[in-house]
Structure 1
Amino acid sequence: MRSRHRLGGLSVAALMLGTAWSFGARAAEEGPVALVERLEVGDRLRVLATLDAEGRYRPGEATEDTPVTPIELTVSTRIESRDQVLAVDAEGLPARLWRQVGRASVEIGGPEPIRPQTITLRPEVSSLVVDRAGGPGGRVVAASPQGPLTRAELDLVHMPADPIGVPALLPEAGAEVAPGDRWPVPDAVARSISGYDVLASNTVEATLRSVDDESAEVELAGAIAGAVLGGQGEMTITGSFRFDRRAGRVSLVTIERDERREPGPVEAGLEFRSTISIERGEAADEDAGASPPTVPEAIPDDWLLLRYASPDGRYTLQHDRAWHLFSEDDQQVVLRRVEAGTVVVQANLVAGPTVEPGAQPKAERFRDDVKKALGDRFDRMIDAGAVTAPEGEFRYRLALAGRQGEEPIVWYYYLVSDAKGRQVVAIFTLRASQVDRFGRRDQRMIGSLRWLPGRP
């Protein structure tokens, strides 16, 4: 059991006596006890969550013809927040929180040529609504009522083992446990700890190691297997948590993860060791701050949008969270839409040549250029025409059908230009079988594109 007393300068005998006195003051309990955390709407907690990791990314599997050099990285994340309960479920577990983030940052480093990078959460989007969607078996969702997050900001605030799920580490409500008793960690918590979209197996168990008048110490151990964005992974879990019996809450969680994940259609493979720490305490009265936002029963779609800015500083656009960045440079950005671990649509945003300011692009020439580029893959034109654009801009859309090998394919091409003569060509590629499911998401994404006063 960890001692909270400063021991410097004491003799060995004094240490032994002090230890005996400490255990005498906090007598261990032998009978079963109930470890229950019940939160009420309006309760506020002060939370500190950290993650420290080191390991390497593997861009792909090495072969004799294509050697792969792993990328060594270190990651250090820190999030300080005040969480106010907005809703609880039937068991008294938090179902929705208002999270006021005071500080959130992640520092990424590594040996040369890796350049150190720090990502922070912008203050204007520091008020979040965190929802355990769909009940205990659902996924944790962080929504931003103040405006779209970037993908990097979302990854930052979606740190594994979100504190909203911490109370679910305890035994089922009302169940009494004694030292040595074990209980399974729910799949929803395992999904949060691992960050996996899909679980293949979860053997993580909690074991009550000791209990006294002040606290209970619980050990965590097991393994989780699953996949995220189509990349198969598995990790071993060790750790512990402390239940503060006087406060009636889980006050400290420490989780160590040892993971190996295969490359997927969007992300590289990895081999990482990481330590997660979560501290929870009662928020001070002066931490009350502003009133929480009014949250509809269903989180609005607008609160879940993400903001993307092109690396050349030309434009921004918004998209839903199924889109993931695959690659980017000043000439081309590639986004992939992943559903159930499979890429269903790819979007290529290509920087076009700058033309004379105010010049009207020629739609007929654009159609001819696209058909020429597709060559033998082109079958027929489905639709063509100008689409709604802000004043002074020109936007034109083509829908074409064809084949990629034996696979029926549909392409949506856009030509977008502004009054300064800057141009972007957007290409959406999808299987013909996905057209109805995809709907008009291409139109919504391009409709959100806004030019920035960047370099011409």
Structure 2
Amino acid sequence: MHGAPRMERATAHSRTHLVTRRHGIASATAAILTVFAGTFAAAEPVKLEQPYTDKRPFSAQIKVQSSGHLFTSRSGGQSERHTMTAAATYEFIERRLPPGGRDAQALRAVRDFQAARMEMLVSDKRTTSELLPMERIIISSGQLEGVSAYSPTTLLSRDSLDLLELPADPLILTALLPAEPVEVGAEWTPPEWVSQMFAAVEAVEKVEASCKLENVDAGVARISVRNHVRGQRLGANTDVKIVGTFDFDTKENAVSGAALLYETKSTIGTITPGIDGKLDVTLVRRVAEAPGRLADTVLEQIPVQAPAVAEQLVFHAAPWNARLRHDRNWHVFQAVLEGSQQVVILRRIDRGSLVCQCNVTNLPAAPAGQHAPQEQFDKDIERSLGARFKQFGRKQVVPTENGRFIYRVEAEGMAEITGNKGAVEIPMTWIYYLIADPSGRQMSFVFAVETSLLPQMEGSDLEMVKGVQFLAPR
């Protein structure tokens, strides 16, 4: 109260100074309130969702840099270490497809690849994998063990199928998003099926996973992710750690980028080397200006479930002028297509366990309309099996509709298996095939399988033999 009269006696200059101070205080207060308002607004829950009904086309670029070591088996139970580096680039346009089921199977997309290429250097051996032009329209579908792929226009090779296992796959990143709106700083645990699919393992022993909304800046939500899964892949013990961040554009309601580090350790498997490696992965994803080849009419023709024939794979034996078709449980273990010891070796894996090994040999051609004598084929079987051979089982000429000759022979015997606890003999069945084209071109197949595992073959041996394609000489 005593200050009021003094204010009344203030000079004009003092009043001006007081007004200026009040104005400065008011401005500062307004600025502070604005900051707090922005803070409160940022703390409001943010919806992070891209529904499957979003049919907009998106362009995506993924770049991968990998380094580490591969391990292969040597005699005497030893292993050999190989230095490995790799680089991969992917560019594609994608559009979402209706769900094919629940959880992982709800994640589907059609993709048109402009680039899909990987270069790998293992010790001093360099290899290159690249999608062929006819393989570049791809249907991608979520599965527990990762995102599977098939082409609606051609059969994929195993190399192409492996190449299409994309790290930082936008379908998986979309599945990591929270089910409800979250505030900045909020954390959530993805469903276990998402963590398994992210790590691309077939069986899970342990999962530790978490996501956190770190911030929202200029309409882009940045989410940190940690995903540690221990389990099995193709029968090998596998440990996968994934850390990093991915971005969600809140204006476009879509995943827009990612920067992830993968660390993978796995033991030597039946068909795979051991791995101790790291992958640095970046993703850039934007709404595309046009769908390109992925027009609505194309999407309308894609079935919800993949046709059975589209799930088959093809092995191109170019020097033999032939192709082998097989289901996805068969994996090419070794291929020597030139020289004196030509052979293609495939192994069949079912639920992580080895079921069968198949050796394919390209035989000298017979005169047109003829084939190697069946009696001679039988004698060759006995000679090749040696002491392991006990007796022949069923023999038959398989009926065909394309003029081919297929002779099937079962041989029974015993095989010695040596392990850490010594050697043991187990009953074995060898299924031999002689196949001859009307032109006289021939191949032989032998499927070696423990007799107790024969039911797991499910006719895949005859299916592979019937699927052989003899091509015209180049």
TM-score bracket for the superposition, by shorter chain length: 0.7 to 0.9
The one of 244, 252, 258 equivalent to 1:253 is 258
1:118 shift after superposition: 2.2
Q: TM-score, normalised by structure 2?
A: 0.81
1:201 maps to which residue?
A: 206
Listed one character per residue, the Cα deviations across residues 105-164 of structure 1 (whole Å, up to 9, x for unaligned) are 1111355x323x32211111211211224xxx5742212111110111111112234222
In 1, Cα distance between equivalents of 2:253 and 2:304 = 28
Superposed, which structure 2 residues align to 1:196-345 within 5 Å? 196-212=201-217, 214-285=219-290, 287=292, 289-290=294-295, 291-292=297-298, 294-310=301-317, 312-330=319-337, 331-345=342-356
User: 8 Å contact 1:309–1:316 — kept in the other structure?
Assistant: yes
1:73 maps to which residue?
A: 84
1:72 shift after superposition: 1.6
Identity %: 25
2:109 maps to which residue?
A: 97
In 1, Cα distance between equivalents of 2:325 and 2:103 = 37
The one of 165, 176, 182 equivalent to 2:172 is 165
1:420 shift after superposition: 5.9
The 1:415–1:130 alpha-carbon spacing in structure 2 relative to 1, beyond 3 Å, is same
1:345 shift after superposition: 1.1
Report whether the alignment pairs 1:447 with 2:447: no
Amino acid at match of 1:103: A
1:17 maps to which residue?
A: none
1:435 maps to which residue?
A: 454
2:163 maps to which residue?
A: 156
Unaligned runs of 5+ residues in structure 2 are 1-33, 417-424
In 2, Cα distance between equivalents of 1:273 and 1:366 = 49
RMSD of aligned residue pairs (Cα, Å): 3.0
2:305 partner SS: coil
The one of 178, 185, 188 equivalent to 2:190 is 185
The 1:391–1:296 alpha-carbon spacing in structure 2 relative to 1, beyond 3 Å, is closer
User: 8 Å contact 1:39–1:92 — kept in the other structure?
Assistant: no
The one of 99, 118, 122 equivalent to 2:132 is 122
The 1:107–1:390 alpha-carbon spacing in structure 2 relative to 1, beyond 3 Å, is farther
Listed one character per residue, the Cα deviations across residues 66-101 of structure 1 (whole Å, up to 9, x for unaligned) are 764422222111221111122047899963212112
1:391 shift after superposition: 5.8
In 2, Cα distance between equivalents of 1:359 and 1:412 = 22
In 1, Cα distance between equivalents of 2:414 and 2:396 = 22
Q: Which moved more, 1:445-454 or 1:382-391?
A: 382-391
1:147 maps to which residue?
A: 154
In 2, Cα distance between equivalents of 1:187 and 1:171 = 13
User: 8 Å contact 1:223–1:237 — kept in the other structure?
Assistant: yes
1:140 partner SS: strand
The 1:262–1:204 alpha-carbon spacing in structure 2 relative to 1, beyond 3 Å, is same
User: 8 Å contact 1:262–1:268 — kept in the other structure?
Assistant: yes
Amino acid at match of 1:292: V
In 1, Cα distance between equivalents of 2:388 and 2:327 = 30
1:30 maps to which residue?
A: 43
In 1, Cα distance between equivalents of 2:409 and 2:387 = 17
2:166 partner SS: coil
1:423 shift after superposition: 3.3
User: 8 Å contact 2:146–2:199 — kept in the other structure?
Assistant: no
1:436 shift after superposition: 2.5
Amino acid at match of 1:122: L
In 2, Cα distance between equivalents of 1:197 and 1:177 = 31
Report whether the alignment pairs 1:386 with 2:397: yes
Amino acid at match of 1:102: Q
In 2, Cα distance between equivalents of 1:306 and 1:40 = 31
Listed one character per residue, the Cα deviations across residues 333-377 of structure 1 (whole Å, up to 9, x for unaligned) are 110001111101110112334555655311012112212332443
In 1, Cα distance between equivalents of 2:455 and 2:163 = 33
1:426 maps to which residue?
A: 445
2:371 maps to which residue?
A: 360
In 2, Cα distance between equivalents of 1:203 and 1:354 = 57
2:10 maps to which residue?
A: none
Q: Which has the higher helix share?
A: 2
1:279 shift after superposition: 2.2
Report whether the alignment pairs 1:398 with 2:409: yes
Superposed, which structure 2 residues align to 1:5-16 within 5 Å? none
In 2, Cα distance between equivalents of 1:421 and 1:158 = 40
